[in-house]
Structure 1
Amino acid sequence: MSTSERENLLHIFNEQLRHFSTDTILFHQAVAERLGLNSTDHKCLDIILRNQPITAGMLSDLTGLTTGTVTGVIDRLEKAGYVFREKDPEDRRKVIIRVYTKKAEDEIMSHLESFGQSMKAMLDQYDNEQIRFLFNFFERSRGIIQTETLKLKK
């Protein structure tokens, strides 16, 4: 492969990644709207689901959002019936955030079911080695994104 062919492929690949990123954001915005949330609240709900029990401070650390912003997110998620606050039994100054898991999973999954089926159908076309390659690519890409995000926040 010539240098110019590789540069062209890398350019096209980079453009596809940009489209993928934008399309992903727009997809999750559409899901959030169906749930009556904004996209930040929707993704924070996902982070809470995967890390519960969690404190507001921990959510702030994981997202990079200010504690004031996180308080607003939790207030909106609580008002929408997705989360609830409870006192930390070991430290009364702390509040633990938990998710009404059944409600969240039922409502969110109903909007993701078609997407999941389509992704499974596409991935069924790949063998295990190709899946491992994709997993490696996304895992390493996430590491780069996290590192670059931290750089932007300094």
Structure 2
Amino acid sequence: MTGEPRRRRRAANDIKESLRVLSIQLSLLNHQVGAHLDLKDVDFYCLDLINRLGPLSPTALSRQTGLHPATMTGILDRLQKGGWVTRERDPEATDRRAVTVRALKDRNAELFQLYAGMNTAMDDLCAGYTDEQLDLLAGFLRNATEAGRTATDDLANG
């Protein structure tokens, strides 16, 4: 019985360490993708958020990232100049200056091409698991993502 809690603690520590290493590796991959597209890391992360959550207002994007609105303006200027996003007037806003930021999908093929190697590797990896195991892993990753979001929010809010 004494070995069981120790083994569980060791397994949990192995998982946390593997997630940290995975996070670093994915950051390095994203950096390389961004470099191929001539995007700064922060620009690339904002573009990804706009693609996933958009269209968004610049204010909403600032809140999502924790970046100052003036910093966000510079990022959006670079993304718009590069043909990645467009700013559009929000017809439903009471403030006529209000805009939303929308990703331009015609550039997505470039992104997909750069991630093709990783996507193929992940498909091959997933092929070795049963549907039930994949469901378990997907649930774990969703929960780990939410734990990370909570920890980030806690740090950001002091």
TM-score by length of 1: 0.92
Distance, in Å, in 1 between the alignment partners of 2:12 and 2:153 is: 25
Distance, in Å, in 2 between the alignment partners of 1:11 and 1:51 is: 32
Distance, in Å, in 1 between the alignment partners of 2:30 and 2:85 is: 19
What is the letter of the counterpart of residue 94 of structure 1?
A
Q: Structure 2: which 5+ runs fail to align?
A: none
1:49-99 Cα shifts (integer Å, max 9, x gaps): 122221101111222211111111101101111111121223312012122
What is the letter of the counterpart of residue 135 of structure 1?
A
State the Cα distance separating 1:39 from its structure 2 match: 1.3
State the Cα distance separating 1:32 from its structure 2 match: 0.7
Distance, in Å, in 2 between the alignment partners of 1:26 and 1:153 is: 24
1:51/1:11 Cα in 2 relative to 1: closer, same or farther (>3 Å)?
A: closer
Distance, in Å, in 2 between the alignment partners of 1:52 and 1:14 is: 31
Counterpart mapping for 1:1-154 below 5 A: 2=3, 3-91=5-93, 92-103=96-107, 105-154=108-157
Distance, in Å, in 1 between the alignment partners of 2:123 and 2:30 is: 18
1:99/1:13 Cα in 2 relative to 1: closer, same or farther (>3 Å)?
A: closer
Q: Matched residue of 1:54: which SS?
A: coil
- Structure 1 stretch displaced more, 89-98 or 130-139: 89-98
State the Cα distance separating 1:9 from its structure 2 match: 2.5
State the Cα distance separating 1:42 from its structure 2 match: 0.7
What is the letter of the counterpart of residue 104 of structure 2?
Y
Q: Structure 1: which 5+ runs fail to align?
A: none
Aligned residues: 153
1:86-125 Cα shifts (integer Å, max 9, x gaps): 212233120121221111x111111011111110011011
Q: Matched residue of 2:87: which SS?
A: strand
What is the letter of the counterpart of residue 147 of structure 1?
T
Q: Matched residue of 1:96: which SS?
A: strand
